[in-house]
Amino acid sequence: MKLKVLLPNKILVEEEVRKVVAEAENGSFGILPRHIDFLTVLVPGILSFVADSGSEEFLAVDEGVLVKCGPEVLVSVRNALRGADLGDLQERLEQEFMLLDEHERMARSAIARLEAGFIRRFIQQE
């Protein structure tokens, strides 16, 4: 079966796999090649797959959608990180979250400065 993981700006994974395991709102589930077609909403968590070579890989995924149709499994998520080792993946996730937190702090600071400048100019016009 072919697994394709789509992000808003790129294709993260596009390869033949033997098995996919993911998490939905009602729990974890597995997909094998002859699994019935279906659609589900994914929750943030770990998606794992076994490549045709036999190696298991992991994706830390944000919320998204998984569609199993025929021999294809399509996953569309806003954000995802790929790793062969869960420990390494956890470290990379923590670094990514720290970076996102810093960007969020900078954006909030910029918005606060804009609001203060707007209020100052508004008061001066009166």
Q: Measuring CA to CA, which residue among 56, 65, 54, 43 is closest to residue 83? A: 56
- Please tell me whether residues 46 and 78 are part of one structural domain: yes
- Please tell me whether residues 30 and 69 are part of one structural domain: yes
- The secondary structure element, H or E, covering residue 122 is helix 86-125
pLDDT in tens, 35-70: 999 999 999 889 999 999 999 999 999 889 999 999
Report the domain count for the chain: 2
SS3 label, residue 26? coil
Query: 98 lies in which domain range?
Result: 85-126
- Please tell me whether residues 77 and 91 are part of one structural domain: no
Alpha carbon separation from 110 to 113, 117, 118 (Å, rounded) = 5, 11, 12
Give the pLDDT confidence score for residue 11 in this predicted structure: 95
- Paired tokens of 103: 């960007």
Give me the CATH number covering residue 33: 2.60.15.10
pTM above 0.75, yes or no: no
